[in-house]
Amino acid sequence: MLDRRKLLKAVAATGAAGAGLLPVGRSAFAALSDASAVAPPRLVVVFMRGAVDGLSVVVPYAEDEYYRARSTIALGRPGQAGGVLDLDGHFGLHPALAPLVPLWQTGRLGFVHASGSPDTTRSHFDAQDYMESGTPGVKTTADGWLNRLLGALPAAGVAAAPTRAVSIGAVLPRIFAGHNAVANIASGAAAVKPTVLDRPRVGEAFARLYDGDDKLSRAYRESQLARREVMGALAGDDLEREMQAANNGAPLPGGFPADAARLARLMRRDARVQFAFMAVGGWDTHAAQGSAAGQLANRLAPLGQGLAQLASQLGPVLDDTAVVVMSEFGRTVRQNGNGGTDHGHGNVMWLLGGAIAGAKVHGRWPSLADSALYEGRDLAVTTDFRQVLAQLCERHLALPDARLDEVFPRWPGFGDGGLDLVRSRA
Amino acid sequence: MTKSPVMIDRRALLCTTVLGWLMAGPARAASGDFVAAAGPLAPGATPSDTRAEALHLLNRLAYGPTADEFERVMRIGAERWVDEQLHPERVALPEPLGRQLATLAASDESQRTLPASLREAQAAARDGSESSKARLRELFQRVGYGAAGARLLRAVASPRQLEEVMVDFWFNHFNVFIGKGLCRVLVGSYEREAIRPHVLGHFRDLLGATAHHPAMLFYLDNWLSVAPGWQPPRGARAGAPSGLNENYARELMELHTLGVDGGYTQADVTALARMLTGWTIEPRRSRGDSVFWFDAGRHDDGDKRWLGHTVRGSGQAEGEWALDVLAAHPATARHLALQLAQYFVADRPPPALVARVAQRFLASGGDIRAVLATLFASPEFRAPGARGAKFKTPYQYVLSAVRAGGVPLGNVRPLLGTMAQLGMPLYGCLTPDGYKNTEQAWLNPDAITRRVNFATALAAGRLPLARPAYDDVPLAMPAQAMMASSAMRPAPEPGWFTPPLAADALLDTLGESISERTRAMVAESDPPLRAALVLGSPDFMRR
């Protein structure tokens, strides 16, 4: 529940509102450390670039067609060595994603299978572009849907912080392109390392140079404000070291788990971080993708660990969070000549968080029967990805119906599509 | 494109190579000397216009001005300089650069020798001993640093700047990723053998060279693609290929030639993949420098329908003919014209310009030099409004700062680390589309802060660009690896560092590309900060 009085009191307590200053850094953190009481709804989008093989993520192990199509890369049935982790008697989860099972069991992890874009391109780059612009088939859309959502969803109270929307990584993704400000935070420990600009003399000199109204000046100022926020919330954390210690000193599996944990802490400590985006690459398994072990498993394992980290580090904030994990398209149902899979169509979207109606594989499953395949080779799409995102916007983020059209223009947006993805908020 | 890539071992690319000092110390003309020597570019041009145009050319056909190169353009005139850049074979490399390149290991190793060295080192490393593992690491270090060092030393110091710009452009167009299998040792060979010889030549030759190079055959999996139903020879290991792999065929049309809107279908992708079956890597049977091998036994010799043509089974000739068709296709001309115009002129180039450039491509039979000459002579490119219209990529930003400062470069590692931190690790683009070069792709809040950090460190002489050979810091790709390694760096020594930069000299070199407003602010600030402010200014982020 969003308690507006408490929120306003928190603003007043900083004494900054009257001075026309945004509370930044530690003062903001202190003012809002009671984050769970404020509880604005949050949204995290994780994009798997390269088209993950969704049929190896949420596996239709009950269908013989699956095993016929994948003679060497199919995952075993539940209970077999290296078999899937049963979800509902029909689908099973890739064993490398075992860290996510507790979330499924507590109803905070669900999936929408056979989902994807109505556009049938098999180009990674066009397909990603469409999913990020939110306008499949239309190349002229300049901005991303997540940026438009920032504009369509009024910032509650002090939520208009420089870190209201954050992206992890050195470049801003297409999904955040647009005129609303978005902070990007470096991947890895660099996110919280002081820079030369933190020295007042240097910082002031550059601030004078970047005081115009041009794009570069705005970006510079946004960067400085966001950095102060992030440094304020995360100063003193050494996540890499902590996690390595928790791992008995074993090296970390890539950067994703630490980045996810860092993001979660930031969100937990600063209630004004409402939207976040992360991307993970390396899913384009045209050759030797493996099954329970192998290249795909090696990529899924850190993703699963990272999402589990994200959930646990969010703590109580997880209750007000929806995490959506998506990829541009799925891969061919039949394996190719090289123990891999080629570009396909339908895929699975993952939903995670307390806001999610979990423990369920949502969507209409078209089956893998030959007659049901798209162009005789791919999983069909029965749920438009926008249907899923729109429902999160409306039911979870409380985006007014009338403004949905701004986020997903040119989309009829018919009803709920038979989906019920969001738990009703108490 | 890539299967799940091998993560880059941060120890794997260490350097053991001595890089000497590259550039002589900056010898600058006094401020104002350029104007006297200037030849006007157009009737009625003021000296300031002439200088601004020279700087524009240096910002687009080169990685920004150096003091000497700016002076040279002013002296010989813009048109002669452009012509010179279009004919790099007429410009000798300076001897110090040649000497320095010669010290880089692996610069003469080929697509045949490198994979052989890799196989040998990998076989030896199977014994698990520390010494054999160290040898494998040493190979990656030597070869990886050889490629990256040669690339950056040339980009900074070669007077044949357009050649270096086009090496970046075409490598990126035909991108391969250093993290995937064989490409770990082959990126340098790919650049030397497939890209560099053709950057200003004919597109068909460039396309053919990439199609036959083992780096591309491996990266986009075509070496594995075989006729459906093909039976491996008896005794072949399990997991031998057993069918088509569409990866290369798709990207060949989508990225390398026709463009995604070039009018092909999924059926065309499959047909082209069939036409290219049997194009593989076979060092034992191939001869000469190339390890490309057409394996007729793996080829699908059936008839195909492709792009409206009926293709009769005819072995390797099918694929060669397909490359001919693609290289001469109007969609390819449009796709390449758009990309070139975007790179050289504006993020959204004028359609009329793109059409003229495409026309020149078709009329010249894909002569890249002729296409560029048309582009560089176009009023759209020469318009004053085009100046400074492009936001530098991290690669361009870093190189232009080193050039503007006249920094004597020996050790390129700090530059590689900065590029990685800015999201553009050299040879580190995982996907076959390469890096974008638009403002939208690279202008973001964190980028400005990190560029300013780099500018400040470079201007203050705090980067160990003169450090002699060392092997304790990886030739890093991921930013995390750079961070993780910082703890084990030894204490720096004074001799590793280049002198602090002087703001006045920088402002002379950068001339009209730094605005009056920025100049005034620089003049008002603390003297020790001035050079950093110039290189960290909004003006210098653009080209």
Give the pLDDT confidence of B147-196 residue by residue, as tens digits.
Answer: 999 999 999 999 999 999 999 999 999 999 998 889 999 999 999 999 99
d(CA A81, CA A229): 48
Strand partners, B292: B281
- The residue that leads in pLDDT, B237 or B435, is B435
pLDDT for A241: 77
**Residue B193 CB-density burial (10 A; 0-12 exposed, 13-18 middle, 19+ buried):** buried
pLDDT for A28: 43
Examine the pLDDT at B31 and tell me if it is beyond 50: no
Q: In B89-130, which ranges are E strands?
A: none
**Residue B412 CB-density burial (10 A; 0-12 exposed, 13-18 middle, 19+ buried):** buried
Cβ of A170 under 8 Å from any chain B Cβ? yes
pLDDT for A418: 87
| Residue B424 structure tokens | 């553009």
At B292, is the secondary structure helix, strand, or coil? strand
Rg (CA), chain A: 22
Handedness of CA A410, A413, A414, A418 (dihedral sign): positive
| Residue B143 structure tokens | 């070869």
CB A110 within 8 A of CB A360: yes
- Mean predicted confidence (pLDDT) in B110-125: 90
Per-residue 3-state assignment (H helix, E strand, C coil) for A53-121: CHHHCEECCCCHHHHHHCCCCCCECCCCCCECEECCCCCEECHHHHHHHHHHHCCCEEEEEEEECCCCC
Strand partners, A168: A185
CB B466 within 8 A of CB B16: no
- The residue that leads in pLDDT, B57 or B430, is B57
Q: Can you spell out the DSSP letters for A364-392?
A: ----S-GGGSBTTTBPPP-EEHHHHHHHI
pTM of the model: 0.85
Find how far residue B236's CA is from the centre of its chain: 38
Collect the ranges in chain A with pLDDT lower than 70.
1-38, 156-160, 247-254, 414, 425-426
Find how far residue A138's CA is from the centre of its chain: 23
pLDDT for A156: 66
Cβ of A240 under 8 Å from any chain B Cβ? yes
CB B222 within 8 A of CB B294: no
Rg (CA), chain B: 24
Q: Which residue has the tokens 């990020």?
A: A132
pLDDT for A253: 59
Task: Pick A188's closest partner by Cβ from B443, B483, B529.
Answer: B483
Q: Which residue of A has its CA nearest to B541?
A: A216
CB B177 within 8 A of CB B428: yes
| Cβ-based neighbour number of residue A196 at 10 Å | 20
Dihedral of the alpha carbons of A412, A418, A419, A422, in degrees to the nearest 10: 90
Mutate to test the interface with B, among A338, A373, A377 (most CBs of B within 10 A): A338
Q: Which residue has the tokens 């030639």?
A: B257
d(CA B198, CA B194): 7
CB A335 within 8 A of CB B242: no
d(CA A413, CA B351): 35
d(CA B63, CA B398): 9
Distance from CA of B443 to the nearest CA of A (A): 8
Tell me which DSSP letter residue A331 carries: B
CB B248 within 8 A of CB B273: yes
Strand partners, A280: A48
pLDDT for B14: 25
pLDDT band at B494 (very low <50, low <70, confident <90, very high): confident
pLDDT for B106: 66
pLDDT for B361: 98
Cβ of A188 under 8 Å from any chain B Cβ? yes
Phi, psi of B263 (to 5 degrees): 90, 25
d(CA A134, CA A143): 9
**pLDDT digits 0-9 by tens, B51-81:** 999 999 999 999 999 999 999 999 999 999 9
CB B341 within 8 A of CB B349: yes
Distance from CA of A306 to the nearest CA of B (A): 16
For chain B, give the mean pLDDT: 87
Distances in Å between the Cα of B193 and the Cα atoms of A336, B109, B152, B187, B197 are 31, 10, 17, 10, 7
d(CA B221, CA B247): 6
Lowest mean pLDDT of B7-21, B87-101, B264-278, name the range.
Answer: B7-21
Phi, psi of A209 (to 5 degrees): -70, -30
Q: In chain A, what residues touch B242 (CB-CB under 8 Å)?
A: 337-338
**ipTM for the predicted complex:** 0.83
pLDDT band at B43 (very low <50, low <70, confident <90, very high): low
**pLDDT digits 0-9 by tens, B450-469:** 999 999 999 999 999 988 76
d(CA B365, CA B370): 10
Cβ of B541 under 8 Å from any chain A Cβ? yes
Count chain A–chain B contacts defined by CB atoms under 8 A: 189
d(CA A113, CA A349): 6
Task: Pick B443's closest partner by Cβ from A216, A283, A339.
Answer: A216
CB B281 within 8 A of CB B223: yes
**pLDDT digits 0-9 by tens, B5-23:** 333 332 222 222 222 211 2
Distance from CA of A16 to the nearest CA of B (A): 24
pLDDT for B480: 36
d(CA A370, CA A377): 8
Q: Which residue has the tokens 């293709």?
A: B311
Tell me the one-letter amino acid at A1.
Answer: M
pLDDT band at B133 (very low <50, low <70, confident <90, very high): confident
Q: Which residue of A has its CA nearest to B538?
A: A216
Mutate to test the interface with B, among A286, A289, A329 (most CBs of B within 10 A): A286
CB A95 within 8 A of CB A75: yes
| Cβ-based neighbour number of residue A82 at 10 Å | 12
pLDDT for A154: 81
CB B542 within 8 A of CB A230: no
